[in-house]
């Protein structure tokens, strides 16, 4: 049981680190939001589930926290991306600029 929780926590930490790395590496705002959202959602799920396996009496609270993360995390990132879309950030513009600079 405790081994499962450690494995889940390590997986969560790895995905959270990958999320941060993705935000650093991706070229434009949408791709950064993508890398951030997905990795942090699964990372937080795994981390919190790991805590739940370590302390089984907290499991209902953990379930509630997971439900709230699943609802709010994508909505937050969609809102950020929507603001960028409404203010006219093109998805391919920055990518093309970068290719132009490379040549």
Partner 1 sequence: MKKTISTFLVLLAIWVLLTGFNWMEVVLGAAVSLVLAIIISRFVNYSFGFGIILGLIKFIVIYIPVFIFKLVLANIDIAYRVLSPKLPINPGIVKVPTKLKSDFGKFVLANSITLTPGTLSLDVEDDEVIVHWVNVKGKTSGEHQSRISKTFEKLLGGIVK
Question: Using CB under 8 A as the criterion, what x/- string covers residues 20-59 for binding partner 1?
Answer: -xx--xxxx-xx-xxx-xxx-xx--x-----------x--
Quote the CA–CA distance of 21 and 45 in Å, as a whole number.
Answer: 19
Quote the CA–CA distance of 90 and 61 in Å, as a whole number.
Answer: 41
Question: Which residues fall within 8 angstroms of residue 81, CB to CB, at 6 or more apart?
Answer: 29, 30, 33
- Is 6 a residue that touches partner 1 (CB under 8 A)? no
User: Kindly report the CA angle at 94 between 35 and 74, in degrees rounded to 5?
Assistant: 30
One residue of 4, 10, 56, 82 binding partner 1 per CB under 8 A:
82
Q: Which residues bind partner 1 (CB under 8 A)?
A: 15, 18, 21-22, 25-28, 30-31, 33-35, 37-39, 41-42, 45, 57, 60-61, 63-64, 70-71, 74-75, 77-78, 81-82, 85-86, 91-92, 95
């Amino acid at each position: 049981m405790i081994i499962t929780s450690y494995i889940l926590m390590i997986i969560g930490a790895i995905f959270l680190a990958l999320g941060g790395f993705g935000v650093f590496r991706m070229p434009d705002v949408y791709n950064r939001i993508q890398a951030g959202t997905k990795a942090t959602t699964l990372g937080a799920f795994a981390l919190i589930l790991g805590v739940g396996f370590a302390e089984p009496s907290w499991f209902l609270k953990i379930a509630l926290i997971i439900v709230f993360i699943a609802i709010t995390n994508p909505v937050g990132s969609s809102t950020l991306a929507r603001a960028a879309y409404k203010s006219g950030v093109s998805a391919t513009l920055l990518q093309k600029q970068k290719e132009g600079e490379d040549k």
